[in-house]
Structure formats: structure tokens, C-alpha cells
Structure 1
Amino acid sequence: MTVSPDFSAASTAVTAALGAYLLLGEPWLGRRLYDSLARRRDTEPRALVGYFTFVLVFWWLFAALALLALLLSPAMAASDLGIAAPESPVSTAVVIVAVVAVTVVSGRKMHDLAEGGRNVPGLASIRAMLPRTAQERRLAIAVAVTDGICAELVYRGLLIAFGVGVLGLDLYAAAALSVLVYAVAGFYQGRSGVIAFAVVGALLAGLYVSTGSLLLPVVIHVALSVRDLTLPEPEPIGSVPTYEPAAKGS
């Protein structure tokens, strides 16, 4: 994969502002919003609906800014942001089928574990975002799809192009920088969240660089997000079953 993005002055300003927010503002705001949701989740019936609606609006705004950066740079091609067919369509299709199959199987396993009260690694850190009603479940799926599309366009497509075209980094250094920015977005889940985001971000950035397209990263991101955001809510840590004494016969 090779990209040679030519950012205009206006496009550079838009992308720099967005990148600064993602690096410095997003971790702080994400943590505050999630903590607020966790406090209100059990007392305000529509707390999660409001949270998901906010997330949807913000993500599509970020995607619009990424497309604006492209439109403001007449010399930059859509392929510089990963909006292109993969270099090997057949191999990509095979990987997509395999990833979806693995995600479905692992999702069923995780669902059974959660329903049975067993520990699912990482699930407790997103407990407040797990849906309880049909409306919340529909919004959760919408957020998962939006997250997969918009996050890949912004973090992989735009930020890697910015690193190459504006910062003068080589492709792999720009990809590493995008992983760093993406990792801090997991701060709302604590240190484990930052690590998890870094690992997933490195995987997705590697797939983008190796295929020259955002298609595979988007599909994997959506599949993982849908799987995780539709799992049953785990029991609170430290909770124990309540036993009723057997009624005595007269």
C-alpha cells in the first residue's frame, strides 16, 4: 500500500483540530460521559438511549469532518483515506467470511457464559452500555455499525493520511501514531481498556496497510462491536444469589 495525500491548508487545519481533540479531549470526555451513564443507568430509564444518541451524532460528525478534509483538498484522492477496493478482493472476501464466522461462534459462547453468570473478560468494563430493552438493543447495533464505519475512516483513513501527508512520516510510523491516538480513546474503560484498544487498533491498522482499503477493518470492527454491545448484562461484582427459605408445611 502507498498513499500520497496532498492536504490543503484548510484541510490540514480541520484534520489537526480533529486529531488534537481525539488525542486530548476524547479520553477525558469519554470517561466523564461513561461515568455519568454508569451512575444514572439504574435510576433513569432512558439514560442509555440518550448516551447512544449522543454517540451516534458525534461519530457521524467526525466522519463528516473527515470527508470535509477530503473535499477541501482537490489534489487528494479518496483512496488516500482508504476509500477504495482492497488490493486483493478474493483474499479479503475469504478473510471477511472467516472473521464473521469466528465472531458469531465466539459471540454465542460469550453470550452463554454471561447468561450463566460466568466471567466474560472485559464485559464488566462496558456494563453500563449493555442493552436491557428492545429499543436499547436496536440503538446498540446502530452504534456498533456507526463505530465501525466512522472510527475506521477517522482513525485509520484520515489520521494515517495526515501522518504521511502533513507530518512527513512513513506509512508504518503514521499507522503507529494512529494506534496511539486510538488507544487513548479506551481510557473510559480504564487501563485495561487502553491496552485492549491498542491491540485492536494495531490489528486494524495492519489490515488497512496490508490491503490498501478500509473495507476489511470496517467489517471486523463492526462485527466485534455488534458482538460486544449485544451481550447480556453481567451481574454486579460481589453480588450473590438470594435464597428464600423453604415454606414449612402446616
Structure 2
Amino acid sequence: MTELPASLAAFGPATLSVVVVAVYLVLGEPVVGHVLHRRFEGRLRADPQARRSFYRRLLVLEWGLAVLAAVLWLASPGVDAAAVGLAWPSGWPGPVTGTAAVLVLVLSLVSVRALRGGALAGAAAPRRPGSAAPAHGRHAEPEGHATLALLPRTPAERRLFSVVGVTAGVCEEWLYRGFFLAVVAAVGGGLPVPVLVLAGAVAFGLAHAYQGLHGVVLTGVLGGVFAALYLDTGSLLLPVLLHAAVDLRFLLVPASALPEVLPAPRPAGGAAA
């Protein structure tokens, strides 16, 4: 069981800064994520490097936030490494948490299989006569498969996506479980575990608001499982591994199963750039 800070006094001179970063994770990150994804979708049709550029921006943002949170923690004299999950697991997860973690893995693999089938079907299905073509300025994925735009197609994209998946496992678990829950526990002063799990779930779900309501609910549930796994074991190790596995599962979807993105329409009579 994780021994979280009992009060904000444990953060010492860094108290105000850690609270500001924690509030940003709940309120600011959804806005930044939405803006980044709108820009990505706007570039994707015209720019073949859009995915790689987007992945790099994610890496800079996540590592930047993670380093900032680490610096603030190091400046907090009353918060040791174990209080933010930087320790080896002190025990195995409980039966409920363990079962939930196994279900997450199983459902992740099932979703990959469904995604592969759906992507292939969507790519092969002809567009109905009279149906609208993909809007200019957004990705040219088949209707109903907009989230496929984020998945890598080329070998270079897949390599960079691998780094993004590992980064998400490390940085997001540190930020939303280790750092954020320590601040929440300090503000609440002895909150019960279910409340902490709920706080972790809500914050993580809101961070994925760009995915719409369905994405918020799904990632919120995942965030709750990760939080329970962390609080049960007293370590970020298992949540990091599970989180990375969930994200990296998309590499099991072959590029051939994903629809191509169409190039931007060329002006009539215009010369190729």
C-alpha cells in the first residue's frame, strides 16, 4: 500500500507550484490536447510528415511535464520516493485489482483484432454514390474510423510510435499516478483509496477529452485501474508496464490494414511543387 503525503506541508517551498501543475493536469491538459489534435487533423491530409511531427510534439510535452514534476518533487523535503511510487512493489495487487488488470490486457488484445477487421472492412468498402468525401482540412479516413488517423503507417512512424507508447507508460504514470495522487492525497488529508482511484480516473479521462465522450470514459476506466494497481502495490512499476502494453498494442495492427491518407487536392492546372 502506498504511503501518500498526509498534508501539503510535506511539499515545503514547492507547495504552490505542485498544486498549479496538478490543476494543469486536470484543466489545462484537456485544452492543450484538443488544440494539438485539431492542428494534427488539419495538417494530416496535406503533410505526409504530420504524424511524425505530432508524435514528436507529444514526446516534448510529456517529457517536459514529467521533468517539471520531478524537479518539484525533488524540491519537496517531506515527500520521499516511496510517497510518489518510485519504489519496488511492496506486494501483489489485490484480487479485484489483479482481475481488472488482466481484463484490461485481454480486452486490449480483443480490441486490436476488432480494429484490424474494422479497418480492413472500412478500407475495402466503396463509398456510396452521393456520399460526401472527407472534408478538406481533416484526415481522409473512412467514415466512422476517425481515430485510425493517429495510428502509424510507415516503418519510420511505427518506430517513433513505439517511443511514444513507452513514453506514455512512463511519463503519464509518473504524472497522473505518482505525482498527481500525491498532491490530491495531501490536499484531502487522508482520503480513502476509492476516492483516490476515482480522482485518478477522472483526471486521466479528462486528459483524453480530444477523443470525445467515449474516449473519456474508456481512458477514465483505464486510469482507475492504473491508480488501483499503483495504490495496491505501492509502486509505479506495474502500472507503467500495463500502460505501455495497452498503448503499444496498436503496433500489432499491420499498416496494410489501415486506410491510406489521401493527398491534398491539387489546384486545376497547377504545377506540382
State the TM bucket, normalised to the shorter chain: 0.7 to 0.9
Distance 2:67 2:61 in 1: 10
Q: Is the 8 A contact 1:11 1:72 kept in 2?
A: yes
Distance 2:53 2:35 in 1: 14
Q: Is the 8 A contact 2:204 2:223 kept in 1?
A: yes
Question: Cα offset for 1:176?
Answer: 1.9
Distance 1:174 1:102 in 2: 25
Q: Is the 8 A contact 1:141 1:230 kept in 2?
A: no
Local SS of the residue matching 1:116? helix
Distance 1:224 1:142 in 2: 14
| 91, 113, 120: which one aligns with 2:117 | 113
The alpha-carbon distance between structure 1 residues 4 and 33, as it changes in their structure 2 partners (threshold 3 A), is closer
Q: Name the residue aligned to 1:24.
A: 27
Q: State whether structure 2 residue 176 is matched by structure 1 residue 155.
A: yes
Q: Is the 8 A contact 1:130 1:230 kept in 2?
A: no
Q: Name the residue aligned to 2:246.
A: 224
Question: Cα offset for 1:136?
Answer: 0.8
Local SS of the residue matching 1:117? helix
Question: Cα offset for 1:73?
Answer: 1.3
Q: State whether structure 2 residue 72 is matched by structure 1 residue 51.
A: no
Gaps of 5+ in 2: 124-143, 261-273
- TM-score, normalised on structure 2? 0.74
Q: Name the residue aligned to 1:135.
A: 156
Distance 1:116 1:128 in 2: 14
Q: Structure 1, residues 135-186: CA drift from partner, whole Å, max 9, x if none? A: 1111111111100111011101111111112332414223322221111111
The alpha-carbon distance between structure 1 residues 228 and 64, as it changes in their structure 2 partners (threshold 3 A), is same
The alpha-carbon distance between structure 1 residues 46 and 190, as it changes in their structure 2 partners (threshold 3 A), is same
The alpha-carbon distance between structure 1 residues 2 and 89, as it changes in their structure 2 partners (threshold 3 A), is closer
The percent identity for this pair of structures is 32
Q: Name the residue aligned to 2:3.
A: 3
Q: Is the 8 A contact 1:107 1:228 kept in 2?
A: no
Kindly report which structure 2 residues correspond to 1:232-247, keeping only aligned pairs within 5 A, or say none.
232=255, 234-235=258-259
- TM-score, normalised on structure 1? 0.80
The alpha-carbon distance between structure 1 residues 197 and 216, as it changes in their structure 2 partners (threshold 3 A), is same
Q: Name the residue aligned to 1:87.
A: 90
